[in-house]
Structure 1
Amino acid sequence: MSIYVGNLSYEVNQEDLNEVFSEYGSVKRVHLPTDRETGRKRGFGFVEMETEAEEDKAIETLDGAEWMGRELKVNKARPRENRNSFGGGGGGGRRNDRF
C-alpha cells in the first residue's frame, strides 16, 4: 500500500518528502509523477512506508497540515484506474466475441 500526498508545491523534491515522512517511520519509496509533455511535477506524489501502522500515523498527522505554504491532502492511495492510451474506450475496431 502507499500514501497519496496532494496539493504539493511544485518545488518539492523526493528528498523533501522522504525527510518529512521519515519522522513517522521507515520510508521505502517516494515517487513524484511528472507531466509527460513538460516534464514538470504534477503537484502530488506517493510515499511507501515499511508498515501500515507507520502509514496510518503519517496520514493522521499530515493530512491538512500546512507545508511549504500549502495545506496537504494525505490519504491512502487508491489503485490506479486501468486506462487505455486512446482515451474514451469502446467503439471502433473489431470485437473479439464476434468471431
Structure 2
Amino acid sequence: MKLLVRNLSRATTEQDLRTLFAAHGKVTTCNLVLDKETGLSKGFAFVEMPNDIESRGAIKALNQTSVDKSKIRVKYADE
C-alpha cells in the first residue's frame, strides 16, 4: 500500500522515514519529495508497504505523532 506522509520537518531524511516505518513492517520504497530548484524537502513523502495489515498499523501508530518537532500526518495515498 502506498502511504502519504505530510507535514514533515525539512530536517527529516528518507533514511529517517524508512527507519520510522520499518518498525511497523516491511518498507519497499520511500521517496521524500524534493524541490527541484533548491534540493530541499517539500515536507511530504511517499512510503510503500506491501502488507496491508502492516500499513494500517503504521498509519494508526504514526499519524499525528511528532517527528523532528513536526506533527506528521499519515494516510493512504490517492492512486
TM-score range, shorter chain: over 0.9
Deviation at 1:65, TM superposition (A): 0.8
Deviation at 1:50, TM superposition (A): 2.3
Does 2:13 correspond to 1:13? Answer: yes
CA deviation profile, 1:53-98 (whole Å, cap 9, x unmatched): 111000011111111111111000112xxxxxxxxxxxxxxxxxxx
More strand by share: 2
How much identity, in percent, do the aligned residues show? 34
- Please report the TM-score for the alignment, with normalisation by the length of structure 2: 0.93
Q: Alignment RMSD, CA only?
A: 0.9
Equivalent residue pairs, number:
79
Larger radius of gyration: 1
Superposed displacement of residue 37, structure 1: 2.0
Q: Distance in 2 between matches of 1:64 and 1:16?
A: 17
Q: Which runs of 5+ in 2 are unaligned?
A: none
TM-score by length of 1: 0.75
- The answer for the alignment partner of 1:49 in structure 2 is 49
Aligned to 2:68: 68
Higher relative contact order (CA 8 A, sep 6+): 2
Question: 5+ residue gaps in structure 1?
Answer: 80-99
Deviations 1:14-52 (A, max 9, x none): 110011101100111100111122221100101101211
Structure 1 residue 25 corresponds to structure 2 residue 25? yes
State the SS of the aligned residue for 1:12: coil
